Structure 1
Amino acid sequence: MPRRSIWKGSFVDAFLLRMKKKRDLLLSRKIWSRRSSISPEFVDCSVLIYNGKTPVRCKITEGKVGHKFGEFASTRRRRPSRTNKGKGRKGKR
């Protein structure tokens, strides 16, 4: 997978750069920019990341620094596993 050039630095959306200065507003702020990287200024903040339907609460820790916001708010539904109890053609012959 291609990566961003080191000389460009990590991508952070413009409004997130402004929000870093106002740290108290991050606690109740929804983040639509899933492509932005998490910087160390966001550590110990709880943010709401939009997944396309509803915002998902996420606590930012040191281990998440450098990743993208979108990695922590899944956009897919988990389907329950189906158990095959005697139905179907396999093993019936």
Structure 2
Amino acid sequence: MSRSVWKGPFVDFGLLRSVVKKERSDAQKKGPKDPLKVYSRRSLILPDFVGLEVDIYNGRSFQKVLIKEEMIGHYFGEFAPTRKIFIPKDKVKNKGKKK
């Protein structure tokens, strides 16, 4: 089920506050900019976030993501997988051994 329209999009208040702070500090700061750390995977990506480099927490480590225009309306959690992909190991053949 999707979220009710009358409720509006959910964005963590702390995340919004830190984005505004970051924009102010980056305007004054020259040189490389530090990525914003995002713990709230359930927050929606808003148009204000486009162009920001964020580190999204996946439960174990941070995944670097650059927010693009196509990502608006999606959740941060969609871009940082939490599960490790299972890759089966090759079966080792016993060469030259007899039972």
The normalised TM-score by structure 1 is: 0.79
Distance 1:57 1:39 in 2: 18
- Evaluate the alpha carbon distance shift between residue 27 and residue 39 of structure 1 in structure 2; reply closer, same or farther with a 3 A threshold: farther
Structure 1 residues 4, 78: closer, same or farther in 2, change over 3 A?
same
Question: Which ranges of structure 1 fall in alignment gaps of 5 or more residues?
Answer: 87-93
Give the C-alpha shift of residue 29 in structure 1: 2.1
- The structure 2 residue matched to 1:69, chosen from 65, 70, 76, is 76
In the alignment, the residues of structure 2 paired with residue 75 and residue 54 of structure 1 have an alpha-carbon distance, to the nearest angstrom, of 9
Q: Is the 8 A contact 1:39 1:66 kept in 2?
A: yes
Matching residue within 33, 44, 50 for 1:37: 44
Using the alignment, how far apart are the partners of 1:20 and 1:41 within structure 2? 8
Larger Rg: 2
Calculate percent identity across the aligned residue pairs: 45
- Pick closer, same or farther for the CA change 1:27–1:42 going to 2, 3 Å: farther
Q: What's the C-alpha RMSD, in Å, of the aligned pairs?
A: 2.0
Q: Which residue of 1 aligns with 2:4?
A: 5
Q: How many Å apart are 1:27 and its aligned residue? A: 4.2
Aligned residues: 84
